[in-house]
């Protein structure tokens, strides 16, 4: 019986959150729901697409701004509500199982201290984001930078940098040897 009660609580919580999110973004609940389901379906298809160019194309269809010759790994999650807030520059690489979130939800109980917010993410030209990284809202990663495996990027990274850790910190400036010539 406790399991049934718990299921009802979770369902009510989900219902409240859906309406709350739609209201927050000043959207018709039906249109918001359709947009969310479309983005979710395209993201699921992109996550398992066997060809990298297909993954990039599916994420572009969701609204992610993706440049030319970009590699997107398996199971990459671009913001599910605001994919249009994310820009990935030409020749960038986003490794498997990375998460890029352009918004913060904020908890119902801590909304005063941690309000909902939205800010763009910009991944520069030639950036390499290694597998398992998390990139939070409002971050800009400069051209030709490398983000180490599993890093959490919560602040801007200057161009030509090697950054890693939790939170990611620049540990080395790169000499630009690998820069692409146009």
Q: How would you classify the pairing of strands 93-94 and 140-141? A: unpaired
Look at residue 148 and tell me if it is in a domain.
Answer: yes
* Three-state secondary structure call for residue 96: coil
**What are the tens digits of pLDDT across the range 37-68?**
898 999 999 999 999 999 999 999 999 999 99
Look at residue 180 and tell me if it is in a domain.
Answer: no
- Please state, as a whole number, how many other Cβ atoms lie within 10 Å of the Cβ of residue 22: 18
Look at residue 19 and tell me if it is in a domain.
Answer: yes
Q: Which two tokens stand for residue 170?
A: 């620049």
Look at residue 150 and tell me if it is in a domain.
Answer: yes
Q: In tens digits, what is the pLDDT along the chain, a chain of 182 residues? A: 444 333 334 344 444 455 555 555 556 778 878 888 898 999 999 999 999 999 999 999 999 999 999 999 999 999 988 899 999 999 999 999 999 999 887 666 666 667 778 899 999 999 999 999 999 999 999 999 999 999 999 999 999 999 999 999 999 999 865 554 44
Work out how many domains the chain is built from and give that number: 1
Whether cis (ω within 30° of 0) applies to the bond prior to 167 is yes
Look at residue 178 and tell me if it is in a domain.
Answer: no
What CATH number corresponds to the domain at position 33? 2.160.10.10
Whole-number Å distance between alpha carbons of 168 and 148: 8
Look at residue 95 and tell me if it is in a domain.
Answer: yes
Look at residue 181 and tell me if it is in a domain.
Answer: no
User: Which range marks the domain in which residue 160 is found?
Assistant: 2-173
Which residues are CB-neighbours of 140 under 8 A, at least 6 positions away?
Answer: 121, 122, 124, 156, 157
Look at residue 51 and tell me if it is in a domain.
Answer: yes
């Amino acid at each position: 019986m406790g399991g049934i009660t718990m299921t009802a609580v979770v369902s009510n919580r989900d219902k409240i959150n859906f309406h709350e999110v739609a209201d927050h973004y000043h959207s018709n609940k039906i249109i918001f729901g359709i947009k969310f389901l479309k983005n979710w379906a395209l993201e699921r298809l992109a996550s398992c697409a066997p060809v990298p160019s297909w993954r990039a194309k599916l994420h572009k269809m969701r609204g992610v701004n993706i440049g030319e010759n970009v590699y997107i790994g398996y199971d990459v999650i671009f913001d599910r509500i605001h994919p249009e807030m994310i820009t990935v520059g030409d020749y960038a690489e986003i490794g498997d199982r990375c998460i890029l979130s352009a918004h913060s939800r904020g908890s119902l109980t801590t909304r005063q201290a941690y309000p909902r917010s939205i800010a763009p993410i910009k991944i520069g030209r030639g950036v390499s984001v290694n597998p398992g990284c998390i990139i939070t809202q409002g971050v800009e990663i400069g051209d030709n930078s490398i983000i180490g495996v599993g890093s959490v990027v919560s602040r801007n990274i200057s161009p030509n940098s090697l950054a890693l850790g939790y939170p990611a910190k620049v540990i080395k400036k790169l000499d630009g040897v690998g820069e692409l010539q146009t």
